[in-house]
Amino acid sequence: MKVHHYYNIALIGYVGLFGLLMLWNTILLPPEKLPIAFVLLTTVSPLLIVLRGFIKGNLKSCSWMAYISMGYFIHGSTESYVRDEPLLPLLELIFSLLLFFGASLFVRYSARLEKS
């Protein structure tokens, strides 16, 4: 595969994860005890930290995005084990893995192209 395919996979994972977290916490299953704004701030803001560099294809930002996605992987795997209906956590798992592998492979093969 070409390098831009890995970047597109990472973008699909990012947009899917971002959209899922927004829908999950506002429309599908809003929190009962915490304010929605606080939950959105804590769940979505880590994805926004390196968004500017990630959109530009900066290798450091893409590698940080891969690291950040692992927190969502842990959250999704824990939630899918605990919940009775694991659909939303499994989607979180899938999108976080797409983001992780897409960003990691993009960084790996982009760095090789820069060296040659």
pLDDT one-digit tens code per residue, 49-105: 999 999 999 999 999 999 999 999 999 999 999 999 999 999 999 999 999 999 999
pTM for this model (two decimals): 0.94
**Which residue in this structure is represented by tokens 């956590």?**
89
User: CA torsion angle for 74, 78, 79, 83 (degrees, to 10)?
Assistant: 170
User: What per-residue confidence (pLDDT) applies to 68?
Assistant: 97
Task: Delimit the domains of the chain by residue range.
Answer: 3-115
Taken as a whole, the chain contains a residue count of 116
- Distance, in Å, from the CA atom of 3 to the CA atom of 26, rounded to the nearest integer, reads 35
Give the tens place of pLDDT for each residue, 4-53.
999 999 999 999 999 999 999 999 999 999 999 999 999 999 999 999 99
What whole-number distance in Å separates Cα of residue 85 and Cα of residue 82?
9
pLDDT tier at 112, thresholds 50, 70, 90: confident
Render pLDDT for 55-64 as a digit per residue (tens, 0 to 9): 999 999 999 9
Q: How far apart are CA 53 and CA 93, in angstroms?
A: 23
Structure tokens at 35: 């304010």
Both structure tokens of 1: 């595969």
Supply the angle between the helices 59-82 and 36-49 in degrees, to the nearest 10.
Answer: 140
